[in-house]
Chain A
Amino acid sequence: AQSVTQLDSQVPVFEEAPVELRCNYSSSVSVYLFWYVQYPNQGLQLLLKYLSGSTLVESINGFEAEFNKSQTSFHLRKPSVHISDTAEYFCAVCGLEGAQKLVFGQGTRLTINP
C-alpha cells in the first residue's frame, strides 16, 4: 500500500516569488508520481508526472518537480508564481503493478497575493 503526505495545507506567497510545495510518499514497491491542480469547483488537471528516467520533470507552465528516491519526496517548485497559479495542488502516487490506484495527499492550497 502507498501513502502520501503533503506537509503544508496552505502556502501563501507574493506574486513573482518562488514557491515549493512539499510531498513525501511511502511505498513498499516502485511507484509513479503525479502532481494535479484543482481550480475551484473543477476536476483535477494533471500538472506533471514522474514515470521513469530523468528525476526532474517539468510542466508547460513553469512548474517542476524532482523525484528523490532516497528521501521519498516529490516536491513541486516554481521560480516565479503568478496570480493565476492560485489553486489546490494534490500530490498522488500509484504502484506500478496491480490495479494502479491513485493515492492522493491531503492537498496544499496555494494562495498568491499581489
Chain B
Amino acid sequence: GAVVSQHPSWVICKSGTSVKIECRSLDFQATTMFWYRQFPKQSLMLMATSNEGSKATYEQGVEKDKFLINHASLTLSTLTVTSAHPEDSSFYICSARQGARNEQFFGPGTRLTVL
C-alpha cells in the first residue's frame, strides 16, 4: 500500500516550453501533497504544499506563477513548469500524505532537462 507514482519519469524540453508533471496516489486518498526539487548531489528542498481543492502554499523564494500547482482531486496533483529555462533542470519529487498521518510517501521523481 501507499504507492505514489509520477509521470513522466524523464522529460527533455526546449527552453521556453511548459512541462507538466503528474503525481498520483495509487491506493490512498492524499489530502496533502508536497513538491520538492533536488539538484545533483544536494538535498530535497520543499517548493510547495498543496491541499485538495485549495490553492497551494509556496515556500519563500519559489515563484508561484512559474511553478503552477493544481491539486484537483484526492489522488492527483500536477506541477507545471511554465516557460522552462535551463536553470529549471532538476529532479522533481512529489510526496503525498493521507489525512493527519505523519508520514509522507514519495514518488519516484521526474528528471527535467531543459535544453
A positions within 8 Å CB-CB of B: 32, 34, 36, 41-46, 49, 51, 90, 94, 96, 99-107
Contacts and interface: CB of A to CB of B under 8 A. Distances in A.
B49 interface: yes
A94 B104 CA distance: 11
A106 B45 CA distance: 10
Contacts of B49: 99, 101
20 contacts: A36-B106, A41-B111, A45-B106, A46-B105, A46-B106, A49-B103, A94-B102, A96-B102, A99-B49, A99-B57, A100-B102, A101-B34, A101-B46, A102-B46, A102-B95, A102-B104, A104-B43, A104-B44, A104-B45, A106-B42
Nearest to A94: B102
Contacts of B95: 44, 102
A49 B43 CA distance: 18
Interface of B: 4, 6, 34, 42-46, 49, 57, 93, 95, 97, 102-109, 111
Contact of B109 (A32, A36, A43, A99): A43
B109 A90 contact: no
A27 to B, nearest CB: 15
Given A90-B43, A102-B95, A106-B43, 17 more contacts: A32-B102, A36-B106, A42-B108, A42-B109, A43-B106, A44-B95, A44-B106, A46-B103, A46-B105, A100-B97, A100-B102, A101-B46, A101-B49, A102-B34, A103-B46, A105-B43, A107-B42
A104 B95 CA distance: 14
Closest 5 CB pairs of A and B: A43-B108, A44-B106, A43-B106, A43-B109, A104-B43
